[in-house]
Structure 1
Amino acid sequence: MGTDWSLHAVAPPAGTREGVQAALDRVVAQMSQWESKSDLARFNRAPPGEWQAIPAEFAEVLAAGVDIGHRSAGAFSLTLGELSEAWGFGAAGPVDAIPETAAPQSGLEFEPAVRRIRRGDGALLDLSGIAKGYGVDLAAEWLLANGVRHFLLEVGGELRGEGIRPDGQPWWVDVEVPPSWPGAGWRVALHDLSAATSGDYRRGLDIDGQHYSHSFDPRTGRPIVNGVRSVTVLHRSCTMADGWATALTVLGAEAGVALADEQELAACILANGREHVSRAWAAMLD
């Protein structure tokens, strides 16, 4: 995933480090667009229209992504692989000129009951907007299944906290804010809760003095230009927090908060020098 992970756990058994690493390795082996032997990479190389069987974990991520895409009216998409490659964020590496791209026209067919998928022309999978959150959940479920009830797990800035610390306090974490942001970030208690943040300051492309976001609007096929610096979502599932943070980033502050309210999501959007919070986020302050 191009990042690292950390774990604070109460009384972890022998083999915990290896168990967490194995869960994350499974996500990489299935869903990485940078690993040429991954299930995702093989799917993207397969001929359009050809059905491909996928593992159970891969299918779980697709189901979550399809759901978020439907509920966000297309602000989230799993088939942005061609765009991310063209703009230098994929396996091919950086580019030195602005590419001409448009919204992807060909879609993805997914049959969850039998765990198989096929793509149309030009539809390449890119799960970077949701798979890291799923990696947190998969590793967290391994910990719970192996008797670790109290822990804070972090993978590349996405977090999940279960239970409490040895001193009886919840797992307090500071919400990441963009560099030079004028306000202070929130401190939240992750007690059986996950947090995911999407920001334009983490990755981007600079060409001729212009910065382009690594987040694409699936409806236009272009990097977003809506003033959003970061979006943080709190959710029981880190998978859903990650995917929704991506979708709300694309929608922008006003539409993003409106959808977060409709979906009863706890979300904080930093945009245009202001902080915008959903009703569910505000309710957590009481």
Structure 2
Amino acid sequence: MGAEHVEAGFAVMGSTGHLLVAGRPELVAHARLRLEELESLWSRFRADSELCRLNASPPGRWVPLSRPTVALVRQAVRAWEVTGGLFDPTVLPALESAGYSRSFAELAEGVPYADDPGPAPGCAGIEIEDDRVRLPPGVRLDLGGIGKGYAADLVAGELLASGAEGACVNLGGDVRTAGSRPGAGEWVVAVEDEAKPGTDLAWLALAEGAVATSTRLRRRWRRQGREMHHLIDPGNGAPAAGQVAVVAAEAHWAEALAKAALIAGPIDGRTLLEDQGVAGLLVTEEGTAHPAGPWERYVTWTPNSGGTWPVSAG
């Protein structure tokens, strides 16, 4: 018989969160509070968050930050370096130009276009030293996607350190599993087909690790009659297209690589994922799927497998 477990779903970080904790079910409440604390540090829609304080600081001034925030900025800069700038947390001006200047629930039609932001400035001038960060002139950060992945990683690790036998943290599609799944077998994660809501592209089984999906279809809005979304090509400030799912050891890394591969396109994106030693699936707007790395090693079900369509992600 598997360990006692409990699940909880709630709104957090601008998305739907889902927690599963095995072995110490009372830890769910603590984990939820921890996620809310991390959101209060990293939200760009809260004027008192550490991220907003960093972005509002005078250029060139050192800003003291908490350890989790410094670590997140460090990981974002690392992802920018490894992906050759395809993942870029400095696209905030382009997001604001596209209309994403307030929380997603508050976006409205009819806001005038801002000036073309042009290419993102990149992370080359960002300095990190101990518990403080310094941004160069013209650089402001958006840590939304990688922040969700990093929060999932942190909370999953903290749950196991507190005595849980297993944990699954899902923050808007960034999923981190750790420890033992309740019952027998591996953790099973469903990858939704964003072009067909309510259906899945595949089910993936992993002993421990993370799955992240990047797509333009999850966060969309209309602005002056034009459909907009939050995935910005840092090279030109324009929205990108497609869907990419990545399997990696950590959720923040899967998130960053998924976004970078989507920006790169199916061919160069597949090369990027394989160079980084991760598995992935890149889907074009036309629906053509391009597996990368050992993707098939994790797949336990697809729509072409035959049999009955799964009921839930388990």
- Secondary structure class of the residue paired with 2:19: strand
Q: Which amino acid aligns with 1:273?
A: G
Identity across matched positions, percent: 27
Q: What is the root-mean-square deviation of aligned Cα atoms in Å?
A: 2.3
Tell me what 1:273 maps to.
Answer: 287
Q: Deviations over 1:194-237 (max 9, x none)?
A: 1111111111232454323311111111212xx41x11111111
Alpha-carbon distance between aligned partners in 1 of 2:122 and 2:75, rounded to the nearest angstrom: 20
- Going from structure 1 to structure 2, the CA distance change for 1:266 and 1:88 (only over 3 Å counts) comes to same
Aligned partner (choices 32, 36, 39) of residue 21 of structure 1: 32
Assess, with a 3 A threshold, how the Cα gap between structure 1 residues 5 and 285 changes in structure 2: closer, same or farther. closer
Q: Decide which of 123, 144, 147 is 1:131's aligned counterpart.
A: 147
Report the Cα distance in structure 2 between the residues aligned to 1:104 and 1:151, rounded to whole angstroms. Answer: 37
* Whole-angstrom CA distance in 1 between matches of 2:111 and 2:182: 51
**Deviation at 1:285?**
5.2
TM-score (norm 2): 0.82
> 1:129 aligns to what SS in structure 2?
helix
Give the drift of 1:143: 0.5
Distance 1:254 1:172 in 2: 28
Q: Which residue of 2 aligns with 1:247?
A: 260
Counterpart AA for 1:69: W
Q: CA deviation at 1:121?
A: 2.9
Match of 1:47 in 2: 58
Greater displacement, 184-193 / 238-247? 184-193
1:18 Cα deviation from its structure 2 partner? 2.5
Is the Cα contact below 8 Å between 1:106 and 1:122 reproduced in 2? no
Q: Which stretches in structure 1 are left out of the alignment for 5+ residues?
A: none
1:232 match: secondary structure: strand
Aligned partner of 2:21: which letter? A
Q: Is the 8 A contact 2:282 2:289 kept in 1?
A: yes
Number of the residue aligned with 1:61: 72
Distance 2:223 2:102 in 1: 19
Indicate if the aligned counterparts of 1:106 and 1:120 stay in contact, CA closer than 8 A. Answer: no
Q: Distance in 1 between matches of 2:223 and 2:15?
A: 25
**Greater Cα shift, 187-196 or 110-119:** 110-119
CA distance in 2 between counterparts of 1:243 and 1:105 reads 18
Instruction: Please say which of residues 108-117 and 261-270 is displaced more in the overlay.
Output: 108-117
d(CA) in 2 for partners of 1:87, 1:110: 24
The one of 226, 231, 248 aligned to 1:235: 248
Question: What is the TM-score when the length of structure 1 is the normalising length?
Answer: 0.89
How far did 1:188 drift? 0.7
Q: What secondary structure is seen at the aligned counterpart in 1 of 2:15? A: coil
Q: Distance in 1 between matches of 2:298 and 2:17?
A: 27
* CA distance in 1: counterparts of 2:53 and 2:159, whole angstroms: 30
CA contact (8 A) 2:90 2:141 kept: yes
* TM-superposition CA deviations, 1:139-197 (whole Å, max 9, x none): 1111111111223221222112223433312221211111338x951111132111111
Q: Structure 1 residues 20, 69: closer, same or farther in 2, change over 3 A? A: same
SS of 2:31 mapped into structure 1: helix
